[in-house]
Amino acid sequence: EIVLTQSPATLSLSPGEGATLSCRASQSLPSRYLAWYQQKSGQAPRLLIDNVSRRATDIPDRFSGSGSGTEFSLTINRLEPDDFAVYFCHQYGSSPTFGQGTKLEI
Amino acid sequence: QVQLVESGGGVVQPGRSLRLSCAGTGFPFSRRAIHWFRQAPGKGLEWVAVISDDGNSKYYGDSLKGRFTISRDNSQNTVHLQLNSLRPDDTATYYCTKAFTMFGVASDYWGQGTLVTVSS
């Protein structure tokens, strides 16, 4: 099983600032099977990024993904109040797993 | 408009069974793999199972140890998840999602989930 470790667990920032969230895999991911989801309290996760860096439909370009091998990151520029949520990385190979999440708080 | 609607959750005693359903509309249901994921209260996400578009291939998370069974009825645009021998640590919100293929493609849409509580 590929274990994903996210850091930091909590990130405290202000609107207008930029955020960088990290995701480390216990082994190199097959192909580019790495996604990022945003989850707000009481809601289902929402796909932001797949294939490491491809934005999903209707996701603004303030969100960007990067990385390779075992190190991946999600960058959010110019934070807006609606961006404060929990973010999960997810590898969708043959035995999918998730990171434990990073809470982005104001 | 894409919709995935889960149902069938509730409170159940340990050792009992429950059958969850996932109804999909607004997309070609019979041409999409369907996953189930779960999230324990205040915890992270865990993959549960996936079924191929035609229902012929099924895979499960290692931790389930044969207690869960996924199936689908494309004539009804529905996927079911049978939960047997339930344990308190199965308490979670169960989500169904759709994807182009079983693996190698991220789930692009999630339902709102159905809560399963296992308690005596």
Distance from CA of A104 to the nearest CA of B (A): 15
Amino acid at B86: L
Is A2 at the interface with chain B, CB within 8 A?
A: no
Chain A nearest-CA distance from B108, in A, is 6
For A101, the closest of B44, B46, B112 (CB atoms) is B44
Query: Residue A26's pLDDT is what?
Result: 96
Quick check: B104 and A31 CB within 8 A?
A: yes
Q: Answer yes or no: do A50 and B45 touch at CB < 8 A.
A: no
Classify strands B114-118 and B10-12 as parallel, antiparallel or unpaired.
parallel
Bridge partners, A58 (sequence order): none
**Contact across the interface for A92 and B107, Cβ inside 8 Å:** yes
pLDDT band, very low/low/confident/very high, at B111 (cuts 50, 70, 90): very high
B89 three-class SS: helix
Query: Which pair of tokens denotes residue A31?
Result: 């192909």
Question: What confidence tens digit (pLDDT) does each residue in A35-81 have?
Answer: 999 999 989 999 999 999 999 999 999 999 999 999 999 999 999 99
**Which tens digit of pLDDT belongs to each residue from B60-87?**
999 887 899 999 999 999 999 999 999 9
Answer yes or no: do A92 and B104 touch at CB < 8 A.
yes
